[in-house]
Chain A
Amino acid sequence: MRRVRTTVPLAFPLALVVATGVLGTFFDRSTEIYFINSLVSVSMVVALYVFVGNSGVLSFGHMSFVAIGAWTAGVLSVPVEEKPATMPSLFGFLGDSTVGNIPSLLLAALVGGVFALVAGLPLMRLSGLAAGIATFAVLEITSNILRYYEKIGPGLNVFSSVPETTDLQQAAIGAAVAILVAFGYQVSRFGRQLRAARDDAPAARAVGISVYRQRLIAFALSGALAGFAGGLYVHFLPINVDAVYLDLTFLTLAMLVVGGMTSLWGAVVGALAVSGLDSVLAEAENGLGGIDLPAGSRTIVVGALMALVLILRPEGITGGREVRLGPLLRSRSQKEGAA
């Protein structure tokens, strides 16, 4: 019984992702991409959650790890014979080699994680606003270099001829993997130590927790997950550097906060709720069920609703808590006895 209860916070997010994936199969290709997009968003927001949710430190830099992952997977998986046409000035081995779908995703995770580790080594000493701005500076520098340095990618152009392997199934599996890793981390002693430091840093230090080291571990792990999500993204759409820059940074952070910043459940619910709403409105702009919204009104509605949710439920839709069956299964007297 106890084991069942501890895995409930894992089962619900997984079930939601699987349900989204299954639901998507009932639609035609043009609607299916909304479902794939939502699932890719889930993996990005879960990656962000691993650091932001557990440490309580805002990061504006995670889209740089998504970008690095996208660049790694994208550059490596374009077929060799197509590289000279789209990316003529690549470094030697990048131009000469190509890897398959799964290896490219794993490499994206590896490079994203190593990059986050290196960036985190100095930056994790900071906290509060200084940490926020420093992580943002990482995003600025990364985007700036990816935009103009054509030896490591397409520069300003979009990635063309990357195999589009991120279908509904792979997006759902990818999101599920991200959730499993995030859950495994948050129940490990590292995750618990970091959350202890988030809730009361002086007390955590007093029992011997190194806040710096725990933040660094979470930053590197969440960088790896973000790189992985970036790999999924580049295999889904022909993106360019602007697709993984400011707008996505704000959108993913908003998804996390709207869902509930401090729980995995909140990350998944927030990502699915905001991207689901966005998809419905996008369809409505094309005329759906008699409603015909004027073009551009979608972002207005999404922005207004995000502000509204935050005003009405500042802790997010889930209140930042994991799913618990306790209140449903146990009677009141038992609960009081346990407390």
Chain B
Amino acid sequence: MSGLLASGLTDFLRSAVDPQVQVDAIGIGAVYALMAVGIGLVFGVLRLVNFAYGQLVMAGAFALAFASDRDWPVWGGIVLCFAVVIALSMAMERVVFRPLRTQSAATMLVATFAVAFLLQAIALVIDQRDDTLGEPAASLARLNLPWVIFGTDVRKITVVAIVTAAVCLLALVLFLERTTVGLQMRAAAMDFQTARLLGVRANRVIGSAVFLSGVLAAIVAVMLTVQQPLVTSTFALRETIVVLAGVVVGGMNRLLSATLGGFAIGYASGLLGGALPTEQSQYLPSFLFGLVILTLLVRPAGLFTRGGGPVERV
């Protein structure tokens, strides 16, 4: 039995170090890291886990499908995608999050469920206007073609994803470190009450965070439609759930640890997907979420956080 386990593990490791598997896993990790940043930014200022983040991505994908259906140029579709996602993100904050800002975490989370439910139902009605399941968004499909680098097939979208993620994260770090709004956002994420007392405007800080998270959702929508050109009402739902788990595993209290958590879970799922033998690959979610449970038990405050969490004393 242990010999069998050992040989299974060796096989797994041998496939896992394969450059092809590694490149694909890093590509998935990059996209998930961007989603993690979008979720983490809003969590930082609002203490709100936005479950409806996936539906923002889904709305962007529908915008791309709309543009590709009407043969718009690629840039037109991307502009529409950004406009739709950012507008929806801001509207969501204004209509739902703002009135609930002072409520318990459970109420806010369930409110985002309701929003997610609503947007998904609207998408389903849109999808069902014709008889086919899903709307195609194929204008960027050529990015799926591979480049061959040292005998490894690297799909163009993987390179685009990694480069985009790196550029976005760099820009975000500069924004947070070098601008006044960025400084205010970091202050608000540390201690919202004190930040307000010191003159930070709540609506402005929250507005910027929601705007940025919308921008990131739009970028993710563009990249995911390349890999899944058929846009349905459950588009990006699976990814959002996995990223939410990753963000909590990484540690929600800091943007960096949340982002690393998103990357780590994307990378882990890419690795498991590439390296598990075929007859076990259907159990990939079990392996992945088994890892999630183990990590949470060992490091409940987050894998990438320093020190223990604060202990409340009487």
**Residues of A bordering B, CB below 8 Å:** 58, 122-123, 125-126, 129-130, 132-134, 136-138, 140-141, 143-145, 148, 201-203, 205-206, 246, 250, 253-254, 257-258, 261, 294-300, 302-304, 306-307, 310-311, 314-315
30 CB contacts below 8 A, A to B, read A58-B106, A58-B109, A126-B297, A129-B248, A133-B245, A133-B248, A134-B293, A136-B245, A137-B289, A138-B293, A140-B289, A141-B289, A144-B282, A144-B283, A144-B286, A144-B289, A202-B312, A206-B314, A261-B106, A294-B125, A296-B121, A296-B124, A297-B125, A299-B124, A303-B115, A303-B118, A306-B114, A307-B118, A310-B110, A310-B114
CB distance from B88 to the nearest CB of A (A): 14
Inter-chain residue pair count (beta carbon < 8 A):
134
- Given A133-B248, A202-B313, A296-B128, A311-B100 contact (CB < 8 Å): yes
Give bound CA distance, A250 to B118, whole Å.
12
Q: What is the size category of the interface that chain B forms with chain A?
A: 35 or more
CB distance from A212 to the nearest CB of B (A): 13
- Identity of the chain B residue whose Cβ is nearest the Cβ of A203 in the assembled complex: B314
CB distance B244 to A133 under 8 Å?
A: yes
- Given A133-B296, A314-B107, A148-B117 contact (CB < 8 Å): no
CB distance B283 to A202 under 8 Å?
A: no
CB distance B124 to A310 under 8 Å?
A: no
Q: Which of B184-240 contact A (CB under 8 A)?
A: 237
CB distance B117 to A302 under 8 Å?
A: yes
CB distance A130 to B248 under 8 Å?
A: yes
- A137's partner among B124, B237, B293 (CB-CB below 8 A) is B293
Is the C-beta of B96 less than 8 angstroms from some C-beta in chain A?
yes
CB distance from B178 to the nearest CB of A (A): 30
CB distance B107 to A141 under 8 Å?
A: no
- Identity of the chain A residue whose Cβ is nearest the Cβ of B51 in the assembled complex: A250
CB distance from A160 to the nearest CB of B (A): 23
Chain A residues, Cβ within 8 Å of B248: 129-130, 132-133
CB distance from A300 to the nearest CB of B (A): 4
Give bound CA distance, A303 to B112, whole Å.
10
- Given A123-B293, A134-B293, A206-B314, A311-B252 contact (CB < 8 Å): no
Give bound CA distance, A132 to B289, whole Å.
13
Chain A residues, Cβ within 8 Å of B99: 311
Chain A residues, Cβ within 8 Å of B115: 303, 307
CB distance A310 to B111 under 8 Å?
A: yes
Is the C-beta of B13 less than 8 angstroms from some C-beta in chain A?
no
Give bound CA distance, A294 to B288, whole Å.
40
Is the C-beta of B72 less than 8 angstroms from some C-beta in chain A?
no
**Residues of B bordering A, CB below 8 Å:** 49, 96, 99-100, 103-107, 109-111, 113-122, 124-125, 128, 237, 241, 244-245, 248-249, 252, 282-283, 285-286, 288-290, 292-293, 296-297, 300-301, 312-314
CB distance A137 to B245 under 8 Å?
A: yes
Chain A residues, Cβ within 8 Å of B300: 125-126, 130
CB distance from A126 to the nearest CB of B (A): 5
- Identity of the chain B residue whose Cβ is nearest the Cβ of A313 in the assembled complex: B107
- Given A202-B314, A307-B96, A310-B111, A122-B124 contact (CB < 8 Å): no
Instruction: Please list the 7 inter-chain residue pairs (A to B) with the smallest Cβ-Cβ separation, ordered nearest first.
Output: A303-B118, A299-B121, A137-B289, A303-B117, A306-B114, A307-B114, A257-B110
CB distance from A30 to the nearest CB of B (A): 24
Question: What 16 additional pairs, Cβ within 8 angstroms, besides A141-B289, A295-B128, A307-B96?
Answer: A58-B109, A129-B252, A133-B249, A134-B292, A134-B297, A140-B286, A140-B289, A202-B314, A258-B110, A300-B122, A302-B121, A303-B118, A310-B110, A310-B114, A311-B111, A314-B103
Most buried by A among B119, B121, B314: B121
Most buried by A among B104, B128, B248: B248
Chain A residues, Cβ within 8 Å of B114: 254, 303-304, 306-307, 310
Chain A residues, Cβ within 8 Å of B124: 296, 299
CB distance from B40 to the nearest CB of A (A): 12
Chain B residues, Cβ within 8 Å of A246: 237, 241
- Identity of the chain B residue whose Cβ is nearest the Cβ of A302 in the assembled complex: B117
CB distance A145 to B283 under 8 Å?
A: yes
Give bound CA distance, A307 to B96, whole Å.
7
Most buried by B among A58, A126, A129, A148: A129
CB distance from B272 to the nearest CB of A (A): 12
Give bound CA distance, A203 to B244, whole Å.
32
- Identity of the chain A residue whose Cβ is nearest the Cβ of B113 in the assembled complex: A250
- Identity of the chain B residue whose Cβ is nearest the Cβ of A251 in the assembled complex: B117
- Identity of the chain B residue whose Cβ is nearest the Cβ of A298 in the assembled complex: B121
Give bound CA distance, A138 to B290, whole Å.
8
Give bound CA distance, A82 to B167, whole Å.
60
Give bound CA distance, A147 to B103, whole Å.
37
Chain B residues, Cβ within 8 Å of A297: 121, 125
Chain A residues, Cβ within 8 Å of B282: 144, 148
Chain A residues, Cβ within 8 Å of B113: 250, 253-254, 306
- Identity of the chain A residue whose Cβ is nearest the Cβ of B127 in the assembled complex: A296
- B111's partner among A134, A136, A307 (CB-CB below 8 A) is A307
Chain A residues, Cβ within 8 Å of B110: 253-254, 257-258, 306, 310
Give bound CA distance, A41 to B44, whole Å.
35
- Given A300-B125, A310-B100, A141-B109 contact (CB < 8 Å): no
- Identity of the chain A residue whose Cβ is nearest the Cβ of B126 in the assembled complex: A296
Chain B residues, Cβ within 8 Å of A148: 282-283
- Identity of the chain B residue whose Cβ is nearest the Cβ of A202 in the assembled complex: B314
Chain B residues, Cβ within 8 Å of A137: 245, 289-290, 292-293, 296
- Identity of the chain A residue whose Cβ is nearest the Cβ of B106 in the assembled complex: A58
Chain A residues, Cβ within 8 Å of B105: 129
CB distance from B47 to the nearest CB of A (A): 10
Chain B residues, Cβ within 8 Å of A298: 121
Chain B residues, Cβ within 8 Å of A58: 106, 109
Give bound CA distance, A299 to B244, whole Å.
24
